[in-house]
Structure 1
């Protein structure tokens, strides 16, 4: 790129990903279509790039114009097609014979939080995450960077109606546990030997009443009274860990 040239906006519907972990994971994902790569000389030399993908060598300042608010791109930016939709029924079928937890997010819209929860879902071997399509962030570089590569391999299902999705999840044999600070039981007391579906509400507002009504049980994390609540992504990580290590 010539110095001072501002790249054109991304094509409609195509997210841009940046940072070494997010880009490396996308390049390694056979389900991901890469449309363009921009990078510094050193960053490009360190990657195994598909020969058919257009590649533009760029300076650090030029890359900063490709990402929002000069995000930490680490010398590499790619433009990609969004991943194919995953159907809830297919995901539930995949997890039919195991006890891996499923994570459901009720109107969690912050892309940093969703990305962090994708990362935790990968770390603790969750079956996947489920969000409502109108009240969750789209695929983006922010989600991908916070997920540290997990966006490429943790199944992310988007549904139209979360209540109906919870009905389907319950019919598939999952015990739907809604996390809320007002619950009487702790998460450890509710997990038992269930196939847990952990339901998390938006930070601040928590779960909507209709979402709570579609849970089998409500539970809380036993945090100190000196702290009112946890960030939703931190709470999700703790809940997924608890589901992983239960007896």
Structure 2
């Protein structure tokens, strides 16, 4: 229904923050999420703290079930006001949520079964977001990343993840090699993916629990990470363009592993 012309407008105030910074507000504990799917998933996640919700009339209508279920109220905002808050590059779809980072997930808290993705210094938020989305699609047990050389778990990454950031556990570790050692001790088969891998992933006998280890584009897996893998495999491709984007490689590896990996007896 069109908004009556004489309806008073709520005055828009940015949440604690400075325009042009979509990652965090001035309060260091607060972050900003945007995009319909990212905000909808955050509202549905009981572990996610909910602060101010700023939305256009259309976005609020699309999110109405999630807003009502969470028991929050959306504050009216215009698209140009959200543009000023987030920056012109952010595709906010008319909604911004002020929230906090999710509680930390420890490596020992991951169930000792299923498939984990381990990312070795993948720094592009779009790639990490896409990896999380694939992890959610294939019900991966979690995504392990180093605390350093990892993009913030906020705006652009959450938007690219399309809600998966609030579905898939993210485990941040101080030392990736040590984390791989601990996974090996817990019974995980650690399979590193690299173009020069010795055997094709599709002919490798995979067992659960399984950790698929992927490196950043260009650099690939670091040597220390390779040394902490049980096997080094490649994804077979055809044609002149053999290399795969890390998020595409993750999706293919998850698809294959989900279909063929069997629990170790």
Q: CA deviation at 1:186?
A: 0.5
Q: 2:90 aligns with which of 53, 71, 74?
A: 71
Deviations, residues 205-238 of structure 1 (Å, cap 9, x unaligned): 0011000000001000001241141110000000
Residue 30 of structure 1: SS of its match in structure 2? coil
Contact 2:33 2:97 survives alignment (8 Å) = yes
* Cα RMSD after superposing both structures: 2.0
Q: 1:172 aligns with which of 178, 186, 195?
A: 186
Q: Could you tell me how far apart the structure 1 residues matched to 2:132 and 2:86 are?
A: 21
Contact 1:176 1:217 survives alignment (8 Å) = yes
* Higher mean C-alpha deviation, range 180-189 or range 6-15: 6-15
Q: CA deviation at 1:192?
A: 3.1
Residue 210 of structure 1: SS of its match in structure 2? helix
Contact 2:189 2:207 survives alignment (8 Å) = no
Deviations, residues 61-87 of structure 1 (Å, cap 9, x unaligned): 111122233422111111111000000
Q: CA deviation at 1:191?
A: 3.7
Q: How does 1:1-247 map to 2 (within 5 A)?
A: 8-9=17-18, 10=25, 11-46=27-62, 47=64, 48-49=66-67, 55-91=74-110, 94=111, 96=112, 98=113, 100-246=114-260
Residue 135 of structure 1: SS of its match in structure 2? coil
Contact 2:193 2:232 survives alignment (8 Å) = yes
* Higher mean C-alpha deviation, range 65-74 or range 237-246: 65-74
Which structure is larger by alpha-carbon Rg, 1 or 2?
Answer: 2
TM-score computed with the length of structure 1 as normaliser: 0.91
In structure 1, what is the equivalent of residue 7 of structure 2? none
Q: Could you tell me how far apart the structure 2 residues matched to 1:17 and 1:191 are?
A: 40
Q: Could you tell me how far apart the structure 1 residues matched to 2:229 and 2:14 are?
A: 49
Q: Structure 1: where are the runs of 5+ without partners?
A: none
Contact 2:206 2:257 survives alignment (8 Å) = no
Q: Could you tell me how far apart the structure 2 residues matched to 1:190 and 1:55 are?
A: 51
Residue 17 of structure 1: SS of its match in structure 2? strand
Q: CA deviation at 1:23?
A: 0.7
Contact 2:67 2:73 survives alignment (8 Å) = no
Go from structure 1 to structure 2 and tell me whether the alpha carbon gap of 1:6 and 1:81 turns closer, same or farther (over 3 Å shift).
Answer: closer
Contact 2:146 2:175 survives alignment (8 Å) = yes
